[in-house]
Structure 1
Amino acid sequence: MSNSFVLVINSGSSSLKFAVIDSANGEAVLSGLGECFGLPESRMSWKFNGEKTEIAIEGDDSHHKIAISKLVGLTEELGLQENIVAVGHRIVHGGEKFTKTVRINEEVTAEIEKLADLAPLHNPAGAIGIRAAMEAFPSLPQFAVFDTAFHQTMPERAYTGAIAKELYTDYGIRRYGFHGTSHYFVSREAAKMINKPIENSSFISVHLGNGASVCAINKGDSVDTSMGFTPLSGLMMGTRCGDLDPGIIEYLLKKGWSQDKVFTALNKESGFLGVSGGLTSDARGILEAMEQGHEGAKLAFQVFTYRVSKYIASYLAALDSFDGIIFTGGIGENSMPIRSQILSNLKLLGFKEDVKGNEDARFGNAGIIGNSEMLDAVAMVIPTNEEYVIVQQSMALLNN
């Protein structure tokens, strides 16, 4: 093998996703997941050459550290290690400190840890993954790619909250946005699809998965996005409520709810799960139950598609021109009924579904699924590849 590979690491609070990716074409030659860290069922699985292997992770040391140590042995055993030229880490929150991908050193790692207040579930875990990987691969250059970085081009009017200025200056409370690597990737691919330079292209990118967000992309730059200070705001999601009157929080606290109970409800018991009456947080389960006449599932479908449609329509105000809507993410790439309903909700903007195109653009296939003659715009599906963005940006820094 003569190709250059990048090891991509996405470290969660109790999990570790990893992939060894060919920098030339974005293909994963090895992909895997460590999960249930800290629990007796802690395990690690990977896929190589179409074969899946799973092992238990045992030991008193950090399970992140143990998993990465096993990953070192695995890449060596499979003959991949000599071709790995860099390690790229997905980091959720860069605050205002990190506006682009950076090479990791002790100062960068410490800054990521300092930003833990902004992403308490994600940044500490990301830093743990970085420290373990730095120890395991001491000779490899390592890079941090931030979910928030793409949105640092938002103008003040978009990221400023209508709150006292001191809340921003003293505590950093503002709109940051997430899913940046996904919105960045699909917008570049969409520009290729319509045969326009990205700097002349403007889209509304709709990333729909268990987490979901919309991004207004004006001439290649993010100018507004639905997630805010945290990933809780914006669209309804699998278990997150999305936009909510903050007065509800005060109301529940006065009713005797604890802070933890309130935020557990908003983060883990809302969205598809909550609106459907506790049925499921998975869109596939919602669609199946809706077909069988489940009223809660039907309402969850309606609320979700309506809210996505509202965001798309409102984000036209953020753009100077408009080339189309991009659907991506697990739901956006695969759920024909959800995309169909969203386009139907946008009929006043002239959007019409291409039923055959919508059927074809699933399961990894990109394509045009509708258009608006009135706006001279298309609706399209672009499968996201956030790992490849991490590879591309790591290699760009490495080569410079």
Structure 2
Amino acid sequence: MKVLVLNTGSSSVKYQLFKMPEELVLCSGTIERIGDTEARIRHNSSKCSVDKPLTIPTHKFALKYIVGLLLDKDKGEVQSIEEIEAVGHRVVHGGHTFKSTVEITSEVKSKIKELFTLAPLHNPSNLEGINVAESIFKKAKQAAIFDTSFHQTIPLKAYKYAIPNEFLDNHHIRLFGFHGTSHKYVSQKAIDYLDNKKAKIISIHLGNGCSISAIRNGESKDHSLGFSPFNGLIMGTRSGDIDHTLIFYLVNTLNYELDEVKSILQSKSGMLGLTGFNDLRDIIAEAKRGNKKCKLALEMNAYRIKKYIGSYVAAMNGLDCIIFTAGIGENSKLIREMVCSEMDIFGIELDEEKNNKSKSGILEINKNNSKVKILVIPTNEELEIARQTFDLFK
């Protein structure tokens, strides 16, 4: 079965075409900055490599361009659209409704739309990708894989908020958790590496969006993101944890409109708000030049992660392994060093020489006598989505 995986963002489409169950990647690529004058396509397969600027006004145009590459008579991977039997879509928020991967129906799409307000940066573009894919791949089965599904194993004592019971009972207001596809993939890799199905693991997903999960026996037990993907760790443009009375103060005392506050906390805070830079590489470079704001932002970022590690060690009564994953987690040696410094009380001891190395696959960066394994594991959300899509339709 050929499975196309689509991860549709607000201004991008990531894709991979798999031959399943062999898990063979036939091609992969990204179209970035859709609707911008600086849109770009990056496409790789055994037959061709494309990296060039394009005019990509809409998601529909982007997907049609991708299909054109797939069907190219000389360089394409399929001879007809019908060869693609299934399309797997990443959907960020599944609410209380979706506990596993589902085939997409009109009812499923309606539920995804109902959750727009809880994941405004993600669910609208996820649904747009589904609608466009249905119009192009008319005979393919479509599957939705939800970031929230992996966290359905979080116990009531951890996901319930200390607010009146009616808000959970009648309105399903609770911690849902996100980045579940990534946390599931890398934690299973760690379990196999450790050869320990009962391992107590802390998985740290660090990208523009960030989250941290406590995982025991292969199941999510707690998570830093909650009702929506706003709280927890300091992110690229999102504040993470704040005192919620700050919102009332901004509105009632400083006379901000609610929409303005939402924009500030969602799009103008985090590392961007602290430094004026949105790219961690720029922030690190500025910090090395002596920029005090950038130095402080890096310290705050690492400190927040440390606090969550401590709380999750307590919640699981122990720790066997820490995972760093996603763009920053996999590539920033400095962040890994800052997070793991002065953590020997938990048995976390980083080996600086190992941390400075790079390799494909799993990289172990702890000292030989460290009680806790520190692993850098490249995430592969697309492969996890392909697996779940294939399992649904095989």
Match in the other structure for 1:392: 387
Structure 1 position 328, deviation (Å): 0.6
Comparing 177-186 with 328-337, greater Cα deviation is found at 328-337
Q: Distance in 1 between matches of 2:40 and 2:331?
A: 29
| Map of 1:348 onto structure 2 | 345
Selected match of 1:29 from 7, 26, 38:
26
Instruction: Identify the residue that residue 370 of structure 1 maps to in structure 2.
Output: 366
Q: TM-score by structure 1 length? A: 0.90
Give the letter aligned to residue 206 of structure 2: L
Shift of 1:46: 2.9
The structural deviation recorded for 1:365 is 4.2
The amino acid that maps onto 1:86 is A
Aligned-pair CA distance for 1:39: 5.0
Unaligned runs of 5+ in 2: none
Per the alignment, residue 71 of structure 1 pairs with 66
Partners in 2 of 1:23 and 1:310 — Cα distance?
A: 41
Which stretch shows the higher mean deviation, 125-134 or 13-22?
A: 13-22
Q: 1:24: Cα distance to partner?
A: 4.9
* Alignment match, 2:78: 80
Structure 1's consecutive aligned runs of 4 or more residues displaced over 4 angstroms after TM superposition are 24-27, 38-45, 371-374
In structure 2, the residue matched to 1:314 is: 311
Equivalent residues of 1:90, 1:126 under 8 A apart: yes
- The equivalent position to 1:243 in structure 2, one of 241, 244, 247, is 241
Identity over aligned pairs, percent = 41
Q: Name the structure 2 match of 1:381.
A: 376
Quote the residue 2:14 is aligned against. Answer: 17
- Structure 2 counterpart SS, 1:353: coil
TM-score by length of 2: 0.91
Distance 1:191 1:130 in 2: 33
The number of residue pairs the alignment matches comes to 387
Q: Does 1:231 align with 2:226?
A: no
Paired residues of 2:199 and 2:321 also in contact (CA < 8 A)? no
- State whether structure 2 residue 333 is matched by structure 1 residue 336: yes
Counterparts of 2:121 and 2:366 in 1: how far apart (Å)? 38
CA–CA distance in structure 1, aligned partners of residues 41 and 52 of structure 2:
6
The within-5 A match list for 1:1-400 is 4-24=1-21, 26=23, 28-38=25-35, 44-49=41-46, 51-54=49-52, 56-57=54-55, 63-77=58-72, 78-80=76-78, 83-197=83-197, 200-253=198-251, 254-276=253-275, 278=276, 280-319=277-316, 321-360=318-357, 362=358, 364-370=360-366, 376-399=371-394
> Mean Cα displacement is larger for which, 128-137 or 67-76?
67-76
Offset, 1:309: 0.8
Deviating more after overlay: 261-270 vs 163-172: 163-172
Separation of aligned partners in 2, 1:221 and 1:58? 40
Equivalents in 1 of 2:183, 2:204: separation in Å? 8
Amino acid at match of 1:388: L
Rounded to whole Å, the distance in 2 between the matches of 1:252 and 1:372 is 50
Q: Deviations over 1:86-139 (max 9, x none)?
A: 211000111011111112222222222222232233222222211211121111
- For structure 1, list consecutive stretches of 5 or more residues without a partner in the other structure: none
Q: Is the 8 A contact 2:18 2:27 kept in 1?
A: yes
Give the distance between the partners of 2:19 and 2:177, measured in 1 at CA.
Answer: 29
